[in-house]
């Protein structure tokens, strides 16, 4: 009888321990559930990420035969009188000022000495086969160097790692303004600091420094690798294209866009020319 009572008591004590509510919901060792709003927010972000990965994974991976790959190259020209670029006043930050011995100009419209345009982003917008392209394993890099964004305009792929670096021994703040991807806004106080980001959706992301108002740039996030930025001679080149017919767009932050249609055969190279005029 005594053994039976002891067993009953033990069972009651065990049940009480198992079903007793937790104490100090926010204290150490608490097992209380997240608030409904927090759970909904976390669940929504997780579902969004899973959906994006699933959508990408559901498409066949595209491979291009190097033996038949085509190339589109060309030049982005500027017509008319170049607008006057304003010199940058670095006086608000002595470190920035000390990094330059000559005048530096804003980069909104950079016309090269040969009347070509720098920082035009050239990309394929139509004609690619249906499927997915594998992002590069090498990261893209945007550097805060000389209190400027380097490069000012560049492209990268969805799923590719972006390294955001500060090479200046002063406090920078990089503030991204995406519409589809998760926003970012953080400081990097000393030289050598790096942060990494990966974007899931294609879009153009303006970036600015909240501490240095003259610093701005553009990140073009693409779902494919067929893009190029015009250089100091206005040249661009898009390699390793599957043979086909394409729409090519040249984008400029201040001057708008231009498009051209082109067809390239196996191993063929075609040359295009875009011309932007002063506004």
Per-residue pLDDT of the chain (279 residues; tens, 9 = 90+): 444 444 444 444 444 433 344 333 333 333 333 333 333 333 443 344 334 544 555 578 999 999 999 999 999 999 999 999 999 999 999 999 999 999 999 999 999 999 999 999 999 999 999 999 999 999 999 999 999 999 999 999 999 999 999 999 999 999 999 999 999 999 999 999 999 999 999 999 999 999 999 999 999 999 999 999 999 999 999 999 999 999 999 999 999 999 999 999 999 999 999 999 988
| Residue 26 backbone class (left: φ over 0; alpha: ψ -120 to 50; beta: rest) | alpha
Domains delineated in the chain: 70-277 (2.60.40.420)
> How many C-beta neighbours within 10 Å does residue 237 have?
14
> How many C-beta neighbours within 10 Å does residue 84 have?
8
Stated pTM of the model: 0.79
Residue 48: enclosing H or E segment and its boundaries?
A: helix 36-57
3 state SS of 95: helix
3 state SS of 261: strand
């Amino acid at each position: 009888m005594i053994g039976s009572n002891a067993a009953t008591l033990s069972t009651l004590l065990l049940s009480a321990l198992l079903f007793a509510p937790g104490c100090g919901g926010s204290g150490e060792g608490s097992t209380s559930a997240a608030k409904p709003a927090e759970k909904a927010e976390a669940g929504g972000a997780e579902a969004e990420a899973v959906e994006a990965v699933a959508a990408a994974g559901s498409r066949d991976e595209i491979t291009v035969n190097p033996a038949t790959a085509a190339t589109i190259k060309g030049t982005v020209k500027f017509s008319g009188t170049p607008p006057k670029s304003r010199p940058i006043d670095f006086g608000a930050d002595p470190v920035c000022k000390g990094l330059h011995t000559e005048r530096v100009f804003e980069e909104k419209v950079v016309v090269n000495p040969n009347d070509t345009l720098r920082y035009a982003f050239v990309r394929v917008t139509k004609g690619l086969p249906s499927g997915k392209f594998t992002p590069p394993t090498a990261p893209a890099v945007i550097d805060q160097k000389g209190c400027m964004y380097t490069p000012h305009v560049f492209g990268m792929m969805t799923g590719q790692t972006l390294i955001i670096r500060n090479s200046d021994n002063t406090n920078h703040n990089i503030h991204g303004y995406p519409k589809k991807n998760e926003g970012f806004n953080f400081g990097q106080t000393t030289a050598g600091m790096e942060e990494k980001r990966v974007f899931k959706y294609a879009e153009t992301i303006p970036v600015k420094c909240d501490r240095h108002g003259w610093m701005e740039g553009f990140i073009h996030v693409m779902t494919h690798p067929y893009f190029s930025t015009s250089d100091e001679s206005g040249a661009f080149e898009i390699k390793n294209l599957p043979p086909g017919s394409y729409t090519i767009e040249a984008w400029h932050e201040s001057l708008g866009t231009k498009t051209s249609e082109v067809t390239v055969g196996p191993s063929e190279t075609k040359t295009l020319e875009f011309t932007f005029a002063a506004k």
